[in-house]
């Protein structure tokens, strides 16, 4: 919990230092400010906020998951975004275009139907569609279709817009920022953390590790072992594709893992490469388009015909944990050090709920609005890793 008497307020000191000004760090800062904790320093090694994984994301948000905690995090984030809608104003940051999972495999369709029942029992709005229902929602999907599921409250968030909003509001309340300051050492003595950065020394009573794909490295500086590794992920942009409707749901071919959504007049295509090794490499892999050409052509032929615009396509880093769920909470071995990282591809959609949970832990001693105990770091040592099957 934040000890307000811990460190006097001055330029380089704070009650809370947040390392990482991506969407997650900005959400922690925003929620701390809303809880009245404003002696906060948000630190980033880059010259601008939100320039890490946040700037590379697809921006999907969905509640169609198969673990209690993923569903709860998504629903809480959706509620927060709905509550903030008027404050955010225009353009809206959260667009409910839906997520459509489809399959040509009857066995997979049975599993998806069971998943939908699990989700509905937890308050998720999700429809099970037969083949005709899928074709009505996605007339651009070709090949065999056994059925699918559609989440009408799922959709898209503008990652940069959300980060800017959270940061603007935090800064308005007094949260301070330090950009171009890479944290290179973390020492703890006398109940205070001393952060050595490339832009000088900073002090804080409490440190939040929101360093995205670098969270494991930052934790190691404090002497903590946090299993978050970076893994490259590509997003491809098609050429102009007038054949698809102007608005489509995030459409996922569950049989191949290829997913598409609209990006203006073009289409954005994603796929998780199972052969991608962990590492900080974000160079675009010229072989990647070849790997997904056949499944795209087969399921979304109009997208295949539109071709690819490789110059506009990119790769960024997922920040991945062994069970593809975030680490959210204190590190017992390093009192005052809290981790909010490892979202494994869900950091945009879960940032609102994660930031609130972390802020509540710091100000009130526990996450009151949501039970996030399943996301504790200790789960790995206890052998309580969580198993999610709807990973994209």
Ligand X SMILES: Cc1cc2nc3c(=O)[nH]c(=O)nc-3n(C[C@H](O)[C@H](O)[C@H](O)COP(=O)(O)OP(=O)(O)OC[C@H]3O[C@@H](n4cnc5c(N)ncnc54)[C@H](O)[C@@H]3O)c2cc1C
Q: Is 186 in the site for ligand X (CB under 6 A)?
A: no
What SS3 state is found at 7?
Answer: coil
Closer to ligand X by CB, 110 or 198: give it.
198
Q: How far is the CB of 5 from ligand X (least distance, A)?
A: 26
Closer to ligand X by CB, 103 or 163: give it.
163
* Residue 33 in tokens: 């400010």
Q: How far is the CB of 228 from ligand X (least distance, A)?
A: 9
CA separation for the pair 233, 315 (Å, rounded): 5
Q: Is 209 in the site for ligand X (CB under 6 A)?
A: no
Q: Is 318 in the site for ligand X (CB under 6 A)?
A: yes
DSSP string, 209-276: E--GGGHHHHHHHTT-----EEEEEEEEEBS--TTS-SS--EEEETTT--EEEEETTEEEEE---TTP
Paired sense of beta strands 192-197 and 200-209, if any: antiparallel
Closer to ligand X by CB, 42 or 116: give it.
42
In 3D, which of 348, 339, 362 has the Cα closest to residue 50? 348
Closer to ligand X by CB, 20 or 249: give it.
20
> For ligand X, which residue of 15, 44, 154, 360 counts as binding (CB under 6 A)?
44
Q: Is 28 in the site for ligand X (CB under 6 A)?
A: no
Q: Is 25 in the site for ligand X (CB under 6 A)?
A: yes
Closer to ligand X by CB, 145 or 226: give it.
226
CA separation for the pair 364, 222 (Å, rounded): 24
Stretch that binds ligand X, among 3-11, 125-133, 317-325, 327-335 (CB under 6 A): 317-325
Angstrom distances, CA of residue 208 to CA of 15, 75, 336: 11, 24, 8
Site string for ligand X, 251-290 (x = CB under 6 A): ----------------------------------------
> For ligand X, which residue of 137, 153, 233, 262 counts as binding (CB under 6 A)?
233
Q: Is 347 in the site for ligand X (CB under 6 A)?
A: yes
Q: Is 51 in the site for ligand X (CB under 6 A)?
A: yes
Phi, psi of 43 (to 5 degrees): -120, 135
DSSP string, 275-333: TPPBSS-----TTHHHHHHHHHHHH-HHHHHH-B-GGG-EEEEEEE-TTSS-EEEE-TT
Stretch that binds ligand X, among 83-91, 301-309, 328-336, 341-349 (CB under 6 A): 341-349
Site string for ligand X, 55-94 (x = CB under 6 A): -xxxxx----------------------------------
| Interacting positions 126-185 with ligand X (CB under 6 A) | 182-183
Find the angle CA(327)-CA(9)-CA(351) to the nearest 5 degrees.
25
Q: Is 316 in the site for ligand X (CB under 6 A)?
A: yes
Q: Is 349 in the site for ligand X (CB under 6 A)?
A: yes
Q: Is 299 in the site for ligand X (CB under 6 A)?
A: no
CA separation for the pair 76, 73 (Å, rounded): 5
Q: Is 317 in the site for ligand X (CB under 6 A)?
A: yes
DSSP string, 37-102: ---EEEE-SSSSTT-SGGGG---EE----SSHHHHHHHHHHHHHHHHTHHHH-SSPSEE---EEEE
Q: What residues line the site for ligand X (CB under 6 A)?
A: 19-25, 43-46, 51-54, 56-60, 182-183, 210-214, 218, 233, 235, 316-319, 341, 343, 345-349
């Amino acid at each position: 919990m934040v000890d307000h008497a811990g460190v006097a307020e001055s330029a380089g000191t704070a009650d809370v230092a947040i390392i990482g000004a991506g969407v997650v760090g900005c959400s922690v800062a925003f929620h701390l400010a809303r809880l009245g904790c404003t002696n906060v320093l948000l630190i980033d090694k880059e010259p601008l906020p939100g320039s890490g994984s946040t700037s590379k994301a697809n921006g999907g948000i969905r509640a169609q998951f198969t673990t209690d905690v993923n569903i709860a995090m998504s629903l809480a984030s959706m509620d927060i975004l709905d509550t903030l809608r008027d404050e955010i104003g225009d353009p809206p940051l959260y667009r409910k275009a839906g997520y459509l999972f489809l399959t040509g495999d009857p066995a997979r369709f049975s599993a998806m139907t069971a998943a939908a029942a699990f989700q509905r029992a937890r308050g998720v709005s999700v429809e099970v569609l037969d083949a005709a229902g899928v074709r009505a929602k996605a007339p651009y999907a070709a090949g065999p279709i056994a059925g699918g599921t559609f989440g009408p409250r799922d959709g898209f968030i503008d990652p940069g817009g959300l980060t800017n909003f959270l940061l603007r509001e935090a800064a308005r309340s007094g949260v301070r920022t330090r950009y171009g300051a890479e944290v290179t050492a973390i020492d703890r003595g006398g109940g205070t953390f001393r952060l050595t950065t490339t832009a000088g020394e900073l002090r804080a009573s409490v440190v939040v590790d929101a360093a995205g794909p670098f969270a494991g490295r930052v934790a190691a500086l404090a002497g903590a072992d946090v299993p978050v590794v970076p893994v490259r992920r590509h997003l491809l942009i098609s050429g102009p594709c007038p054949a698809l409707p102007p608005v489509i749901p995030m459409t996922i071919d569950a049989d191949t893992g290829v997913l598409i959504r609209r990006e203006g007049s073009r289409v954005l295509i994603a796929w998780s490469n199972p052969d991608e090794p962990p590492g900080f490499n974000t160079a675009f892999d010229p072989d990647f388009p070849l790997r997904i050409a056949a499944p795209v052509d087969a399921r979304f032929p109009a997208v295949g015909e539109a071709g690819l615009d490789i110059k506009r396509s990119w790769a960024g880093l997922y920040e991945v944990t062994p069970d593809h769920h975030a680490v959210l909470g204190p590190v017992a071995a390093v009192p005052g050090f809290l981790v909010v990282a490892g979202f494994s591809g869900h950091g945009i959609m879960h940032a609102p709920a994660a930031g609130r949970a972390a802020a509540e832990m710091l100000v009130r001693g526990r996450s009151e609005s949501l039970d996030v105990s399943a996301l504790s770091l200790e789960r790995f040592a206890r052998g309580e890793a969580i198993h999610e099957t709807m990973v994209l």
